[in-house]
Amino acid sequence: MDPLIRADFSQRALVRPDDSPWVASPSAGVTRRPLDRIGDEKARATSLVRYAAGSAFPEHQHPEGEEIFVLEGIFSDESGDHPAGSYLRNPPGSAHSPSSAQGCTLFVKLRQFDPADQETVRIQTHDIQFFPGQVPGLSVFPLHNHGGVSSALVRWAPGTRFLPHTHWGGEEILVLEGTFQDEHGDYPAGTWIRSPHLSRHHPFSTEGCLIYVKVGHLG
């Protein structure tokens, strides 16, 4: 795998569904679609990861942390079975032996934690109560916050428009449901967008959508 994929974080990056192929990992049945990457097998990386039914990955450590959102199926490790909608954070120094009996697809961010961020997080987002957002039609559920870097789920009712805003520290979005939009285009479910520090846009959603958003980590 190319050790440098969308590695210039001063540039906007966009990956639409099926823009790039699935790439084999060192473990049989586990494939990856890289979104950004700096390094070889032990890399700072953001990826979609797919486990075929019955596949597993060897026990490994997370020297700089691991963030996971389960998109499809059931992901398993020593802490339990984590169905679609689960949000997991494994802090620096943790380790696990992941697997999936029925198969799953994950959004994974590796080696991107502050060393002081030692919180283990397990959230099943199907059971959550969203909070009102800054404009009518917008609702938010915070997933994690540390040192000015935060992750959240944001739900847009049909026809919702947000205010034009600047991304201090950058913004990263994965569209989970529906279609997210801004003045640059339309982004259906499965689209990943990385907007650099001090970039700006005017987002909206005509049909409604649900997005994962991470901000403050690209400064």
The verdict on 134 and 207 lying in the same domain is yes
Please, what's the largest Cα pairwise distance for the chain? 47
DSSP β-ladder status, 204-205 and 192-195: unpaired
Q: What six digits make up the tokens of 82?
A: 């984590």
Say what the pLDDT of residue 133 is: 97
CA–CA distance, 130 with 152 (Å, rounded to integer): 10
* Chain center to CA of 130: 18
CA–CA distance, 146 with 119 (Å, rounded to integer): 9
- Cα three-residue angle 18-10-152, rounded to 5 degrees: 65
The verdict on 104 and 142 lying in the same domain is no
What is the CATH classification number for the domain harbouring 64?
2.60.120.10
Say what the pLDDT of residue 42 is: 82
Say what the pLDDT of residue 85 is: 98
Q: What six digits make up the tokens of 67?
A: 């963030």
Say what the pLDDT of residue 177 is: 98
Phi/psi for 126 (5° steps) reads: -70, -15
Say what the pLDDT of residue 127 is: 83
Say what the pLDDT of residue 192 is: 98
Total tally of structural domains belonging to the chain: 2
The verdict on 116 and 164 lying in the same domain is no
Say what the pLDDT of residue 1 is: 78
Q: Is residue 88 part of a domain?
A: yes
The verdict on 37 and 109 lying in the same domain is yes
Q: Is residue 194 part of a domain?
A: yes
Say what the pLDDT of residue 2 is: 87
Q: Is residue 41 part of a domain?
A: yes
**Average confidence (pLDDT) per 10 residues, the chain, 219 residues:** 93 95 94 95 93 95 95 97 98 95 98 95 94 97 97 98 97 98 98 98 98 95
Is 197 exposed, middle or buried, given 0-12, 13-18 or 19+ CB atoms closer than 10 A?
Answer: middle
The verdict on 115 and 153 lying in the same domain is no
CA–CA distance, 45 with 4 (Å, rounded to integer): 10
